[in-house]
Structure 1
């Protein structure tokens, strides 16, 4: 019996680590390699309470399960968001502002849940990665609420138990769609940064909206969710004015793989921008 308990205790950290949440709701670098809090312009609900900015990336903070929110037991009955909506107190770290058509970059910790043959890890599933906006000003009751409007399916990452399902080249190639887009996973499987991106629909009504991220790693595990608010503007100029007024940069998001020349996973040199006048 003692041996069984000891073996169970050894196995628990790996099980406990198979979770995630959204850390930044407006990150400046798409497909980045390493987390940098200075590149984060906005945060989810109660990010200050859980110390998401200053803690080691990948640790959730807070008490009990911290910022992790899994819809255990009965997803159709469990509150959708880890914390109830309270715009007046939830944004000591600032709320996001988006504009119609913007590509938004989100960051999340990988928490041991990716595949890369370079560190001999494969077969870790990725089943669903969805973005929703909420219809109305109140949190939906649960994951099957009719108030959830899906605005993007961010795809699923390739994985497989057997070598003939996906080649090693596919599994080690970045960027990826879905959850496992963490190019430096093998350097730190526990705390490596993953990034998503989604696009704000052109037909979304401007104003303050609630956004919800949903991830299912495999069908046997209930969904993980993160909720946050964002002020949506009709144009980039309006959004930029809002960010300037709140002391934030209006710099456009850049893509790591478009500004760096990468050979065999090593940055060789930056890519010089092409002068549109010279290129004609």
Structure 2
């Protein structure tokens, strides 16, 4: 019976698999609802495809299956694709960053779908510093910024457990399978030189096929103080970093990552609590190790 479910999930889910990043610097880790004013950085051409006055996760033609000579939905043009309302992200080395995307139905949750919806790879890649042209898919994949992990598949209990690594970290998925919010957490490498980079988020629904990408430019500041000055110049008052609690990827261990338990209630004010216990996190870590063996 379980083998049948796995095949069913791959065939049916794979038919409509797609998603994209909506925010590249979100202010809330493991959030339940997308709030546009909590976004301080946007993906490439968000000013054309991802207007903040439309429903989160609404279809806009932004999803993209990358090819070697077309890794991104649109070719790079920073002057056109970013503006004061939809600025590119600014990070500092060592910062913990939150990315936000809609689930678009691709969650494995035994309470509303099943535990066998695949998630087989999630990565952030980058260009070299201060490149001013579009680069190829293989050029992006020479420089791994972070392996975002994979969601646990095939375990009913872990499918219901949030936060979790990988694509399926959407605590309210069962309330709105299409347009619910999911987030990733990752740490910016400490050795990145200041300057401008092109980043690419790559999600493998079924590795090595059915890949989806979103590209976004990032200014890497010299340090946190430098980043704060840039954000102030853009008019942002909230300069915080979403630290505390646990990250969506339990492999992350950094100054932002307090060792604590986070509890989620599926229904506001309800009794259905979602808890990430130390045992569940340990199991998730083991799953991440085995399932992240795909090449980067």
Q: TM-score, normalised by structure 2?
A: 0.75
Map 1:165-244; keep pairs closer than 5 Å.
Answer: 166=155, 168-219=156-207, 221-244=209-232
Query: What is residue 278 of structure 1 aligned with on the other side?
Result: none
**1:261–1:267 Cα contact (<8 Å) kept:** no
59, 63, 73: which is aligned to 1:68?
Answer: 63
**1:28–1:254 Cα contact (<8 Å) kept:** no
Query: What is residue 262 of structure 1 aligned with on the other side?
Result: 263
- Pairing 1:251–2:244 present: no
123, 135, 142: which is aligned to 1:130?
Answer: 123
Distance 1:152 1:22 in 2: 16
**2:126–2:140 Cα contact (<8 Å) kept:** no
45, 53, 74: which is aligned to 1:83?
Answer: 74
Query: What is residue 134 of structure 2 aligned with on the other side?
Result: 139
Query: What is residue 102 of structure 1 aligned with on the other side?
Result: 95
Residues 51 and 26 (structure 1), Cα distance of their counterparts in 2 relative to 1, 3 Å cut? same
**1:29–1:256 Cα contact (<8 Å) kept:** no
Distance 2:142 2:264 in 1: 42
**2:13–2:106 Cα contact (<8 Å) kept:** no
Where structure 1 has 5 or more consecutive residues not aligned to the other structure, the ranges are 1-12, 161-165, 269-280
1:78-135: CA deviations, max 9, x gaps? 4111111111111121111100100110001111101111114231100110001112
**1:17–1:190 Cα contact (<8 Å) kept:** no
Query: What is residue 43 of structure 1 aligned with on the other side?
Result: 42
CA-CA distance at 1:198 after TM superposition: 1.5
Distance 1:155 1:57 in 2: 24
Aligned residues: 242
1:222-249: CA deviations, max 9, x gaps? 3111111111112101100110011012
Q: TM-score, normalised by structure 1?
A: 0.79
Residues 216 and 241 (structure 1), Cα distance of their counterparts in 2 relative to 1, 3 Å cut? same
Max radius of gyration: which structure?
Answer: 1
Query: What is residue 152 of structure 2 aligned with on the other side?
Result: 158
Secondary structure, in 3 states, of the residue corresponding to 1:30? coil
Where structure 2 has 5 or more consecutive residues not aligned to the other structure, the ranges are 1-11, 247-257, 270-296
Query: What is residue 17 of structure 2 aligned with on the other side?
Result: 18
1:162-181: CA deviations, max 9, x gaps? xxxx2x22110100000000
